[in-house]
Amino acid sequence: MEVINNIDEYKNILKDEIKKNNLVIFPTETVYGLGANALSTKAVNKIFEVKTRAKNNPLIVHLKNASEIEKYAVIENEVEQKLIDSFMPGPLTIVLKKKSCIPESVTAGLDTVGIRVPSNEIAHRFLELVDVPIAAPSANISSRPSGTRVNDIFNEFDLKVNYIIDGGESRIGLESTVVKVIDNIPVILRPGFITKEDIIDIVGNCKVSEHVLKSVSLNEKVESPGMLYKHYAPNTKCLLVYSKDINTLRKIVNDNKTSKTIILGSEKLQDIPCFKFINYGNTLESISHNIFSLLRKCDMYNGDLIIIEGVEKVGLGLAIMNRLIRTSCFNYIEK
C-alpha cells in the first residue's frame, strides 16, 4: 500500500482506482474511511470482503456537497432539509429514502441510505477528483477500533488496498452522528460530535434510539453502522467502569484489576498501582480524539485486561460511551 501525501500529484491514479472498482483509504474529520464507488455493486462488495463486515451492516455514502443529495436520495420534509442546511458539510449522516441508483449492497437491503458530506478539505478534494459518490465505512477490520491515523491502520490493509491518503490525525476521532427523521422528529441512531443538544437548538426536538446503549444481533436489521454488539474493540479484554463518585470509581477499579491490568482513563486514576496507566485526556474532546488510537496502543503492552474509565452520558459523552460499551462487549460496571 502506498501512502499519498499530495493528493493532486496522484489525481489521475486515484480516479483510475475508483473507476476500476478498487478501494482507497481517505481521511475525514471524524475517522479514516475505506472508500469505493457507491454506484458499483462490485466495488461495494470489496469493502465488505476486505473489512470482513457483516452484510446486514449498511454503509454511508459520502458526497462532495449537499446539492448532490437529491441525485441519490429523497429529501421528504423540512426537518431533513434543516438538518442538511445546518450540519452539512460536517460530521452528520442523515438517513434518507434512497433512489434506485444506489445498490442494495450499500444499504443492506434497506430502502434508505445514510448520506454524509465531510468537511475535511482532503476528503472534499478526493470526492471532487473522483466525481462519484463514495461508500465508506471506517477504515478498520470489523470489530477493531476505527482508524484515526495512518500508522494505526496501515498493516491491517497492506496488500488489500493500493493507496491510503495521509491527512494526519483525525480531528474528531469518533464516527459521524447518524440521524433519521421519524414523524418529523430527528432520532439519533448513532451519537457523534453533533449532539442531541445541537440538533434541538436547530429543530426544537430530538430523540435517541434505544439501541445507542443497547445492541442489535447479527440477525436483526441494522439501520445505522455501529449498532452491533462488538465493535471498536482491541484484542485485549476490556472492562468499562463509571461512577460520578471518585471514591466509588477507584474502588471498582481496585476490585477488578489484575496483575497485568492496563488502566485507560483520566488523571483521577493515574496513581492507582497497575501494570500500565494510559491517560486518555481530561476533556470529552480529547477523549474523543484519542480513544481509538489509545485502544490500539493498549494491545502493544500485552496485558490481560484493559479497565476503561467511562464518562457521563451527556453531550459528546453519550457518543464516547456508545463506542466504549461496544468496545467492552457490554462488560460494564456503573455505580
pLDDT tens digit string along 139-191? 998 888 999 999 999 999 988 999 999 999 999 999 999 999 999 999 999 99
Q: What is the pLDDT of residue 82?
A: 97
Helices (DSSP H) in 28-74: which residue ranges?
41-51, 69-72
Residues whose CB is less than 8 angstroms from the CB of residue 236 and which lie 6 or more positions away in sequence, other chains included: 262, 298, 299, 302, 303, 304, 305, 306
Termini Cα distance of the chain? 46
Identify the pLDDT of residue 55.
84
- Which cell numbers in the block locate residue 239? 472492562
pLDDT, residue 221, reads 67
Cβ-defined contacts of 209-215 (< 8 Å, 24+):
212/188, 212/318, 212/322, 213/313, 213/321, 213/322, 213/325, 215/326, 215/330
Separation between Cα atoms, residue 138 and residue 145, nearest integer Å? 9
d(CA 272, CA 69): 51
Per residue in 94-133, pLDDT tens? 999 999 999 999 999 999 999 999 999 999 999 999 999 9
- What distance in Å separates the CA atoms of residue 291 and residue 284, rounded to the nearest whole number? 10
- Give 242's strand partners: 334
pLDDT of residue 54: 82
pLDDT value at residue 169: 96
What was the pLDDT predicted at 213?
A: 86
Which pLDDT value is given to residue 218? 56
Amino acid type, 141: I
Residues 6 or more apart whose CB falls under 8 angstroms from that of 222 comprise: 54, 56, 57, 58, 108, 216, 228
* Burial tier of 227 (Cβ tally within 10 Å: 0-12, 13-18, 19+): buried
Hunting for cell 442538511 — which residue is that?
84
How far, in Å, CA of 277 to CA of 298, rounded? 9
Q: What is the pLDDT of residue 230?
A: 60
Provide the pLDDT for residue 61. Answer: 98
Handedness of CA 311, 236, 152, 42 (dihedral sign): negative
pTM for this model (two decimals): 0.93
CA distances from 267 to 145, 186, 246, 263, 282 (A): 23, 36, 11, 11, 7
Ranges of the chain with pLDDT below 50: none
Residue 8 has a CB neighbour count (10 Å cut-off) of 9
List of residues 6+ apart from 47 with CB closer than 8 A: 23, 34, 36, 53, 59, 135, 136, 137
CB-CB contact of 281 with 290 (8 Å): yes
Q: Please report the pLDDT score of residue 53 as a whole number.
A: 87
Residue 194's closest CA among 29, 19, 65? 29
Q: Which domains does the chain have, with CATH numbers?
A: 2-76+96-171 (3.90.870.10), 238-334 (3.40.50.11030)
